[in-house]
Chain A
Amino acid sequence: SAVISQKPSRDICQRGTSLTIQCQVDSQVTMMFWYRQQPGQSLTLIATANQGSEATYESGFVIDKFPISRPNLTFSTLTVSNMSPEDSSIYLCSVGLAGPTDTQYFGPGTRLTVL
């Protein structure tokens, strides 16, 4: 398994500002992802964070709104830019581990409220 931490755990932000969320893993991993979970909803994949190259975004998500960095195999950041109340969600990072467990492990999440 993997131990994943995220900072901040929660934040309240004003409309029009930006917030950067950090994700740290306790071991080197190839696959790292960012998800959004809107209140009371399921999870939606935002993008795959690729080490050393640009992130791969899913339909409906763009780099200008959700820039992602992945400087090494244990760390990634997601920025939510020019926020609006519709961005209020929980943002989770996850890592994929191949091998016997062959599943994704999720961080504790960042609860974002935009006023």
Chain B
Amino acid sequence: ELKVEQNPLFLSMQEGKNYTIYCNYSTTSDRLYWYRQDPGKSLESLFVLLSNGAVKQEGRLMASLDTKARLSTLHITAAVHDLSATYFCAVDIPSGTYKYIFGTGTRLKVLA
């Protein structure tokens, strides 16, 4: 069974702190996507990782992909309240088909 698992599922952190969200997937894929969803809103594309070793950074967020370990990380640096949202990773299986399997999601709350 194809699985995309994230941990933690819930994360409450103080402003200014660093933390990492992990995304593990159970089958081969060399593409991984990160999205953000605010409450009551749709999904916003954050990062597109298209090869092993890919690293992308935008502001306080940095995403990386290790296809051999079937692992992606989303690192948060010096969190701010505006980062509070649910973060999803997704893989397309088979790779390149755009048929996404989404992770379980990580609900992040940054406390002032």
- Report which A residues bind B (CB closer than 8 A): 31, 33, 41-45, 48, 58, 92, 96, 101-109
Taking a contact as CB atoms under 8 Å apart, the answer to whether A43 and B102 are in contact is yes
Q: Which residues of A contact B90 (CB under 8 A)?
A: 43
Report, as a range, how many residues of chain B touch the other chain: 10 to 19
Is B101 positioned at the interface, with any CB of A under 8 Å from its CB? Answer: yes
Is B14 positioned at the interface, with any CB of A under 8 Å from its CB? Answer: no
Known: A42-B104, A92-B42. A104 touches B88 (CB 8 A): no
Total A-B contacts with CB atoms under 8 angstroms apart: 44
Taking a contact as CB atoms under 8 Å apart, the answer to whether A105 and B98 are in contact is no
Known: A42-B88, A43-B88, A92-B42. A103 touches B33 (CB 8 A): yes
Taking a contact as CB atoms under 8 Å apart, the answer to whether B98 and A101 are in contact is no
Is B18 positioned at the interface, with any CB of A under 8 Å from its CB? Answer: no
Given A31-B98, A44-B102, A104-B45, 5 new contacts (CB under 8 A): A45-B100, A45-B101, A58-B99, A104-B100, A106-B35
Q: Which of A33, A48, A106 has the most CB of B within 10 A?
A: A106
Taking a contact as CB atoms under 8 Å apart, the answer to whether A103 and B102 are in contact is no
Taking a contact as CB atoms under 8 Å apart, the answer to whether B42 and A96 are in contact is no
Is B55 positioned at the interface, with any CB of A under 8 Å from its CB? Answer: no
Give the complex CA separation of A12 and B70 in angstroms: 41
- Interface of A: prevailing SS: strand
Is B50 positioned at the interface, with any CB of A under 8 Å from its CB? Answer: yes
Q: Would you give 18 A-B contacts (Cβ < 8 Å), ordered by A?
A: A31-B98, A33-B98, A33-B99, A33-B100, A42-B88, A42-B103, A43-B43, A43-B88, A43-B100, A45-B100, A92-B42, A101-B48, A102-B31, A104-B45, A106-B35, A106-B42, A107-B42, A109-B42
Taking a contact as CB atoms under 8 Å apart, the answer to whether B45 and A48 are in contact is no
Q: Which residues of A contact B100 (CB under 8 A)?
A: 33, 43, 45, 104
